[in-house]
């Protein structure tokens, strides 16, 4: 992408960094000052943490771990070092009170930005003798870390009360289109899937290596994501009150939290609504349903089917009848707005099948975009995994058997993160993410 044999494209890195920072600033500017230290998701840190975390992470990773610099602010670089992922609300670390003010955090962020841009401009950030820097590793780590958090921020913002965030000016109303297309399946014949990243690509996270192939038996898969209309049948069947379709973990989660429907749904006077980012709207039947892994697996079981494995996802998305594997489901063309809903193009999903030019070789729609795709695969290292020197805890802390792999992209996924090898993961009962699914059968 940007490397040459001897040097990184410094200007390109700097402009990517500036673009990231501007997008983050716009997000934080949209939050009402009263909500700045609030914690809309009890399992995550308060909003203000993230405005300090992104610059502190860049300083810790590139300047301190990579270039060996001293601290810009050692207290902030500890306070804002890492996010949290507790099992439940009882395990949330004691809240720190009070957090620094926004002005204090922005002053730190400004100093961090100047130091990072200075490093991009003139320091030896691709020193081949330093494993943290070689090939621009720490620089790319910083540059991909920030947009991943922007997705986190968007789904945290989603939980903010509507009067605690400023709607973007001139935003068009969401389109609630009618009914979804009829449910259909595609057949994917037996074949090979390549998982993992090409070692020659400029950057990948540690869990993307090493690449390897998997022989995948034939299977069938839904052409479209499971929609709110489909899921309403499941809800109205009484499935949330029955033990039948739930596995042990999902059943316990549903019991303990009195879950009766997807988190993005709200029932008002007997009518279902979708909690959109900026508006509560009548439930859009043609949109994909956003659910937990537990709900997705229960729905699939209720239909007598199952979720795709990670390898099956690769076959469905990138495989072709000729046996070659594609760069994207639609081919080699770079991701754009015709191929799917991603790269912050919208705040809510589109109707399923709204991007036919993004369909895979088997005619399966929306595999990249419109919501991450839950798989049945437990997040685990590929054989030969090595923690990355620039961020050794990135994946390794999550190989606990409690997180599942998600693939593809959501409306809030930056285009730079869209590649076949990218793996996302969440706990199976974490309800906040923009995650959809489809069912499969052998
Ligand atoms: Fe982070």
Q: What pLDDT digit, counting tens, does each position of 97-144 carry?
A: 689 999 999 999 999 999 999 999 999 999 999 999 999 999 999 999
Calculate how far, in angstroms, residue 67's C-alpha sits from the geometric centre of ligand 1. Answer: 19
Confidence of residue 27 (pLDDT cuts 50, 70, 90): very high
Indicate if the pLDDT at residue 1 is higher than 50.
no
**What's the whole-number mean pLDDT along residues 288-297?**
98
Chain-centre distance of CA 427, in angstroms?
12
Give dist(CA 210, CA 222) in Å, integer. Answer: 30
CA of 249 to the centre of ligand 1 (A): 27
User: What's the gap in Å between 368 CA and the centre of ligand 1?
Assistant: 23
Bond from prior residue into 98 cis (ω within 30 degrees of 0)? yes
Task: Give every strand in the sheet of 439-441, ordered side by side.
Answer: 185-188, 219-222, 439-441, 306-307
Residue 1 token pair: 């992408």
- Decide if 345 contacts 415 (C-beta within 8 A): no
**How far, in Å, is the centroid of ligand 1 from the Cα of 243?**
37
d(CA 292, CA 303): 17
Q: For 377-402, what is each residue's pLDDT tens digit?
A: 999 999 999 999 999 999 999 999 99
Quote the pTM value.
0.94
Q: How many A from CA of 150 to the centre of ligand 1?
A: 10
Gap from CA of 168 to ligand 1 centroid (Å): 26
Residues with Cβ within 8 Å of residue 230, at least 6 apart in sequence = 180, 183, 289, 299
Over residues 208-264, the pLDDT tens digits come to 999 999 999 999 999 999 999 999 999 999 999 999 999 999 999 999 999 999 999
* Cα separation, 313 vs 316, whole angstroms: 5
Measured from the Cβ of residue 3, the count of other Cβ atoms closer than 10 Å reads 16
| CA distance to 136, 155, 226, 381, 426, per residue, from 87 (Å) | 34, 18, 27, 21, 11
CA of 148 to the centre of ligand 1 (A): 8
- Of the pLDDT bands very low, low, confident and very high (cuts 50, 70, 90), residue 323 is very high
| Ligand 1 centroid to residue 222 C-alpha, Å | 34
Cα of 24 vs centre of ligand 1, distance in Å, is: 13
Please state the rounded mean pLDDT for residues 79-104.
Answer: 78
Q: How far, in Å, CA of 373 to CA of 239, rounded?
A: 22
Inter-residue contact 423 to 372 (CB < 8 Å): no
CA distance 293 to 302: 14
- Collapsing DSSP states into helix, strand and coil, what is residue 430? coil
- Indicate the average pLDDT of the chain: 94
User: In angstroms, what is the span from residue 141 Cα to ligand 1's centroid?
Assistant: 10
Report d(CA 319, CA 243) in Å as an integer. Answer: 37
Residue 48 clears pLDDT 80, i.e. is over it? yes
Q: How far does residue 50's CA lie from ligand 1's centre (Å)?
A: 8
Residues 269 and 334 sit within 8 Å (Cβ to Cβ): no
Q: How far is the CA of 308 from the centre of ligand 1 (A)?
A: 28
Q: How much is the average pLDDT of 161-187?
A: 91
Residue 2 has pLDDT above 60, yes or no: no
Residue 7 pLDDT grade (very low, low, confident, very high; cuts 50, 70, 90): low
Residue 95 has pLDDT above 70, yes or no: no
Whole-angstrom distance, CA of residue 319 vs CA of residue 104: 50
User: Does 91 or 268 have the greater pLDDT score?
Assistant: 268
pLDDT: is 86 or 343 the higher one? 343
CB 394 within 8 A of CB 205: yes
Helices 102-122 and 47-58 cross at an angle (nearest 10°) of: 20
In this prediction, residues 332-340 reach a mean pLDDT of: 96
- Distance separating alpha carbons of residues 248 and 306, to the nearest angstrom: 16
Q: Cα(142) to centroid of ligand 1, in Å? A: 9
For residue 155, the CA-to-ligand 1 centroid distance in Å is 15
User: What are the residues whose beta carbons fall under 8 Å from the beta carbon of 260, sequence distance 6 or more?
Assistant: 235, 240, 241
Ligand 1 centre to CA of 175 (Å) is 33
User: Helix 137-157 vs helix 47-58: angle between axes, to the nearest 10 degrees?
Assistant: 170
DSSP 127-161: -TT-TTTGGGHHHHHHHHHHHHHHHHHHHHHTTS-
Cα 277 to ligand 1 centroid, rounded to whole Å: 23
Per-residue burial over 51-68, b = 16 or more CB atoms within 10 Å of its CB, e = otherwise = bbbbbbbbbbbbbbbbbe
Strands 403-409 and 439-441 turn out to be unpaired
Beta pairing partners, 192: 215
């Amino acid at each position: 992408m940007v490397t040459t044999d001897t040097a990184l494209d410094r200007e390109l890195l700097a402009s990517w960094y500036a673009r990231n920072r501007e997008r983050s600033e716009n997000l934080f500017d949209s939050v009402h000052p009263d909500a700045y230290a609030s914690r809309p998701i009890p399992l995550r840190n308060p909003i203000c943490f993230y405005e300090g975390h992104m610059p502190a992470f860049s300083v810790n990773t590139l300047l301190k771990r990579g270039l060996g610099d001293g601290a810009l602010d050692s207290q902030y670089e500890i306070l804002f070092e890492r996010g949290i992922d507790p099992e439940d609300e009882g395990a949330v670390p004691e809240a720190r009170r009070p957090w620094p003010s926004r002005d204090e955090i922005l002053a730190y962020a400004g100093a961090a930005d100047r130091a990072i841009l200075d490093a991009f401009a003139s320091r030896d950030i691709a020193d081949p003798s330093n494993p943290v820097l070689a090939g621009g590793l720490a620089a790319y780590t910083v540059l991909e870390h920030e947009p991943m958090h922007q997705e986190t921020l968007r789904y945290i913002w989603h939980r903010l009360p509507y009067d605690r965030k400023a709607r973007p000016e001139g935003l068009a109303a969401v389109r609630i289109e009618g009914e979804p297309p009829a449910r259909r399946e595609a057949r994917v014949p037996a074949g090979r899937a390549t998982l993992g990243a090409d070692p020659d690509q400029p950057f990948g996270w540690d869990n993307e290596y090493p690449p390897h192939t998997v022989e995948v038996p034939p299977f069938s898969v839904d052409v479209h994501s499971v929609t709110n209309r489909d899921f309403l049948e499941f809800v109205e069947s009484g499935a949330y009150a029955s033990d039948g379709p739930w596995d042990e973990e999902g059943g316990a989660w549903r019991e303990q939290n009195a879950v009766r429907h997807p988190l993005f749904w709200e029932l008002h006077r007997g009518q279902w609504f979708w909690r959109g980012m900026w508006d509560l709207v009548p439930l859009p039947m043609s949109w994909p349903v956003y659910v937990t892994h537990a709900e997705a697996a229960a729905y699939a079981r209720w239909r007598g089917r199952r979720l795709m494995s990670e390898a099956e996802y690769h076959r469905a998305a990138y495989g072709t009848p000729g046996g070659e594997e594609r760069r994207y489901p639609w081919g080699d063309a770079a991701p754009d707005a015709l191929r799917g809903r991603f790269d912050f193009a919208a705040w809510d999903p589109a109707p399923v099948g709204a991007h036919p030019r993004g369909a895979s070789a088997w005619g399966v729609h929306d595999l990249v975009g419109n919501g991450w795709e839950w798989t049945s695969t437990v997040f685990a290292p590929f054989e030969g995994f090595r923690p990355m020197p620039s961020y050794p805890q990135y994946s390794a802390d999550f190989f606990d058997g409690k997180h599942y792999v998600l693939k593809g992209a959501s409306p809030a996924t930056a285009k730079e993160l869209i590649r076949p090898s990218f793996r996302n993961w969440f706990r199976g009962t974490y309800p906040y993410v923009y995650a959809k699914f489809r069912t499969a059968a052998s």
